[in-house]
Amino acid sequence: MTVDLEESRAPFGLFNTHALRPGRLPALARTSPWRYVVQRVLAAIPVLFGVAVLTFSLLHLVPGDPARTLLGIHAPQSAVSALRRQLGLDEPLWRQFWHYLDDLVHGNLGTSIYYDAPTSSLILSRLPVTASLVGVATLFSLVITLPLAVLAAARQNKPADHAVRFLSLLGLGMPSFWFGIILLLLFAVSLHVFPVGGWGTTVLEHLRSLVLPGLTAAIGICPVLIRSLRVGMLDLIDADFVAACRAKGLRNSYVLVGHVARNAMIPTLSLLGVNIAFLIGETVVIEQVFNLNGLGLLMLSSIDNRDFPVVQGIAVIYALGVVAINIITDLLTAWLDPRVRLG
């Protein structure tokens, strides 16, 4: 059952979040979702270009020779120079950058120096792990946030509310790698409920090995989401339409979840979108702790090895991912809230 919100007095806070979201310009007419997506995708191209340029420059400005890393310190300088020639690393920087852009435009992410394999195949082999981790973490964060925020808002200023706020503050302060290891020690080493690390071979094993890392990642972003949803709900709890629902005789729990939370979720969803971008960064640490062979681990070791094509490739993929998530979040918000205008 949907509520016709046009008839209610919408609180100030609810619109404010929309207006303040970066990149949003007021528009007179409603844009179709498809046109909106095309607009956003086109706008993303300069972003990706910027990421490519920045990553290339930073990587090449920092000292470190991938050829020397590949050959070790006992190899004579002649071998290192020969390998640099072979890899095209002795060409002038502008020419290397030109090759890189040329390849990128044609969808070619180059060949990994360290693995001697196409960068795209390396990324594709690791992408499912990171993508699943982000997906599971998002799911867990929703599952944790909703009940806790509803509880806190319903029992405002009572012990339950304080407990939720205290726990979320605790979660904010805890370093994820420490919490991850604690979870491992408890559930994996002592209780043997989940594996200590690794990815497993069957889909069931994959899911089992994602529980603890997903939980660790979710704990990192839940505090912010809980606070946002709780505040959003508290704003709406005093609204006229809620009183009307209660007067109609609907149960309080249904009103809270079905009406208040549902409406308050919208700004929290956009916050979730932004936090997923942070989550992608967190996966670098979490993959290390839980030994998941994903993009994060690959990125770390490639930076260490100065494997330029792989670092550049993953940076572009991450940027693509963040842009895609932002577009999806905006579309979702527009779909959920008819008052939101795209474009």
Partner 1 sequence: MQRHGPRNEAPRQPPPLSRRQFLRNGLAGAGALSVAQFAARPLVGPRSLTGRLLESAARAAITRGGTLTFGRTTGPTQFDPANSIVGGDVYTLDKIFEPLYITNPAGKLIPWLATGHTVSSDRLTWTFQLRNGVKFSDGKPVTPDDVMFSILRTAHDKTGPLSFLDTAIKDISAKGSSAVVFQLSEPWAPFLSDASCFCNSILPANFGGESPASFFAHPVGTGPFLLQSFVKGAGATLLRNPHYWQGGKPYLDKIVFSYIPSDSSRLLQLKSGEIDVMSTVAPADVASLRSDPSLAVKLFPSWALDLLFFNEKVPQFKDRNVRRAIAHAINVHALTRATTFGTAQPGRSFFPPSLQYHANVPTLQYNVRAAKASLAKSAYHKGFSTELLISTGNQTWAEAAQIIQQDLKAIKIDVSIKSLDNASYTAAFSAFNYQMMINTATNDISDPDEMASFQVDVQRGGSHSFWTDYNDPKAISLVREAEHTFSSAKRATLYREIQAIVAQDAPYVPLYYSPNIYAWSRKVHGFAVNPGGAYRLEDVWLG
| Stretch binding partner 1 (CB under 8 A), from 97-105, 114-122, 153-161, 221-229 | 114-122
Q: Can you tell me the distance from the alpha carbon of 217 to that of 222, in angstroms, rounded to the nearest whole number?
A: 9
| Stretch binding partner 1 (CB under 8 A), from 10-18, 27-35, 65-73, 101-109 | 65-73
| Interface pick for partner 1 out of 79, 101, 160, 237 (rule CB under 8 A) | 79
Q: Which is nearer to partner 1, 111 or 145 (CB)?
A: 111
Q: Can you tell me the distance from the alpha carbon of 133 to that of 153, in angstroms, rounded to the nearest whole number?
A: 30
Q: How many residues bind partner 1 (CB under 8 A)?
A: 48
CB-CB neighbours of 122 under 10 Å = 23
| Cα 288 → chain centroid | 17
| Cα 342 → chain centroid | 22
User: What is the helix, strand, coil percentage profile of the chain, to 5?
Assistant: 75, 0, 25
Q: Can you tell me the distance from the alpha carbon of 99 to that of 64, in angstroms, rounded to the nearest whole number?
A: 21
Q: Is 76 in the site for partner 1 (CB under 8 A)?
A: yes
Q: Is 289 in the site for partner 1 (CB under 8 A)?
A: yes
Q: Is 288 in the site for partner 1 (CB under 8 A)?
A: yes
CB-CB neighbours of 5 under 10 Å = 16
Q: Is 290 in the site for partner 1 (CB under 8 A)?
A: yes
Q: Can you tell me the distance from the alpha carbon of 78 to that of 103, in angstroms, rounded to the nearest whole number?
A: 29
Q: Is 215 in the site for partner 1 (CB under 8 A)?
A: no
Residue list 162-191, contact with partner 1 (CB under 8 A): 181, 184-185, 188-189
Kindly list the distances between the CA atom of residue 250 and the CA atoms of 51, 131, 229, in Å, as whole numbers in the listed order.
52, 40, 22
Q: Is 1 in the site for partner 1 (CB under 8 A)?
A: no
In terms of Cβ atoms closer than 10 Å to its own Cβ (0-12, 13-18, 19+), residue 131 is middle
Q: Which is nearer to partner 1, 8 or 288 (CB)?
A: 288
| Stretch binding partner 1 (CB under 8 A), from 59-67, 140-148, 261-269, 273-281 | 59-67
For the bound state, the minimum distance from the C-beta of residue 228 to partner 1, rounded and expressed in Å, comes to 33
For the bound state, the minimum distance from the C-beta of residue 176 to partner 1, rounded and expressed in Å, comes to 14
| Interface pick for partner 1 out of 39, 69, 96, 108 (rule CB under 8 A) | 69
Return all residues near 183 (Cβ < 8 A) that are at least 6 apart: 212, 215, 216
Nearest to 52 by CA among 295, 326, 311, 298: 311
Q: Is 293 in the site for partner 1 (CB under 8 A)?
A: yes
Q: Is 18 in the site for partner 1 (CB under 8 A)?
A: no
Q: Is 62 in the site for partner 1 (CB under 8 A)?
A: yes
Kindly list the distances between the CA atom of residue 196 and the CA atoms of 188, 212, 284, in Å, as whole numbers in the listed order.
5, 9, 17
Q: Which is nearer to partner 1, 131 or 163 (CB)?
A: 131
Q: 190 in helix, strand or coil?
A: helix
| Interface pick for partner 1 out of 16, 32, 86, 156 (rule CB under 8 A) | 86
Which spans of this chain sit near partner 1 (rule: CB under 8 A)? 62-66, 68-79, 82-83, 86, 114-117, 122, 125, 181, 184-185, 188-189, 192, 195-198, 288-291, 293, 297-298, 301, 303-306
